[in-house]
Amino acid sequence: MGAGTMIKGVNRIIDWIENVLVTTLILTATLTAIGQVIARYVFNNSLYWSEELILYALITMSFLTMGMGVRYASHISVEAIYAIAGPRTARALQIGATCLGLVFACVLVFYGLKLSFNTMQMGQLSPAMRIPVGYIYLIIPISGGLMALLYLLVLQSIVTERVYVAPQVDIKTS
């Protein structure tokens, strides 16, 4: 199996996992918000935990989609510089930008784990749902790890003299 096939396979697997998780989180937040409205206005009784669940679902979804930004090359970049620069300079800039992204992802993993473990040691619980906040903070190093893996795949693609071509998404069939 070639490196290109491996990269496409890993991208496909991670993409499927992220899509399932993000879809589940959107559905959870939406159904919880609908349930909250029904509980409040029909039964005159509020779901005390709903806002916290929706907030954590949206935050988790935001962190998970950072990896999608790497995979689909949709993070902010200045494309004009690549057009002006020669091919060797453009390649060096791509390698530099990818390395900076990799460093950022590693910082997320390191400090996210530190934050999560420190919070677990303190025993802090979320106000409404009473779950350990350290578990909620684990999304930071998890998303950083996914981003690091994807940046490594992009870097490997660039270094082996190939141009990284982000997968195209057709929103009509996705």
Output the pLDDT for position 100: 93
Token code pair at residue 144: 């950083």
Q: Is residue 77 situated within a structural domain?
A: yes
Output the pLDDT for position 141: 97
Q: Is residue 172 situated within a structural domain?
A: no
Cα dihedral sign, 24-29-32-33: negative
Output the pLDDT for position 174: 54
Radius of gyration of the chain (CA): 20
pTM for the predicted model, two decimal places: 0.80
* Helix residue ranges per DSSP H, the chain: 3-41, 50-71, 79-84, 87-122, 133-137, 139-159
Q: Is residue 105 situated within a structural domain?
A: yes
Number of domains in the chain: 1
Q: Is residue 21 situated within a structural domain?
A: yes
End-to-end CA distance of the chain: 27
Q: Is residue 166 situated within a structural domain?
A: no
The CA-based diameter of the chain, rounded to the nearest angstrom, is 66
Output the pLDDT for position 168: 63
Which residue is listed with tokens 């993000």?
22
37 CA to centre of own chain:
29
Output the pLDDT for position 93: 84
Burial profile 122-133: b = 16 or more Cβ within 10 angstroms, e = fewer: eeeebeeeeebb
Output the pLDDT for position 86: 81
Q: Is residue 169 situated within a structural domain?
A: no
Residue 137: give the domain boundaries: 3-159
Q: Is residue 38 situated within a structural domain?
A: yes
Output the pLDDT for position 159: 84
Q: Is residue 167 situated within a structural domain?
A: no
Pick out the chain residues at pLDDT < 70.
1-4, 7, 76-78, 162-174
Q: Is 167 helix (H, G, I), strand (E, B) or coil?
A: coil
